[in-house]
Amino acid sequence: MSLNIRINDPMPLDDKSDIQSFINNVCKEKNISSGDLEFTFLSDADIHQINKKHLNHDYPTDTITFNLGTQDHIEADIYISLETAKENAETYGSNFITELKLYIIHCILHCCGYDDQDPIDKKRMDDEQQRLLGQNL
């Protein structure tokens, strides 16, 4: 088996190859070696529609992750709002690429079984996100 990563960008990224490389490196770090991850980068309006249709949440969000596989063989559709990444980078004094990488890590961790619904799980996920982000993958 192998790992297949696809990037769809209705809202184009400047350098898709750097993002592809980053995703590959995060997957290696988390020992993900098989499955399919499909990343779609889109607008707030588009992610709002997905959030409303599939999760009954009537608002835009930063990321949505659907893993239809298992933690051992991920089959994930991942949606990331580039508009929210840009806005949050400004709000939190970060830059766009760092914010985007944080979202990518966050989604991959969800595929690996990490959760952020209760404070203990959220702290564990936040700590792992920061560890991976700090590794300069």
For 95-106, what is each residue's pLDDT tens digit? 999 999 999 999
Query: In b/e form, how buried is each residue of 60-80, taking b as 16+ CB within 10 angstroms?
Result: bbbbbbbbeeeeeebbbbbbb
CA pseudo-torsion sign 43, 125, 77, 48: negative
pLDDT at 8 over 80: yes
CATH code at 3-134: 3.40.390.30
Q: What is the pLDDT of residue 11?
A: 65
Residue 33 amino acid letter: S
The residue extents of the domains of the chain are 3-134
Label residue 72 by pLDDT band (50, 70, 90).
confident
Q: Enter the DSSP assignment of 70.
A: -
Q: How many C-alpha atoms does 128 have within 13 Å on its Cβ side? A: 22
Mean pLDDT score of the chain = 93
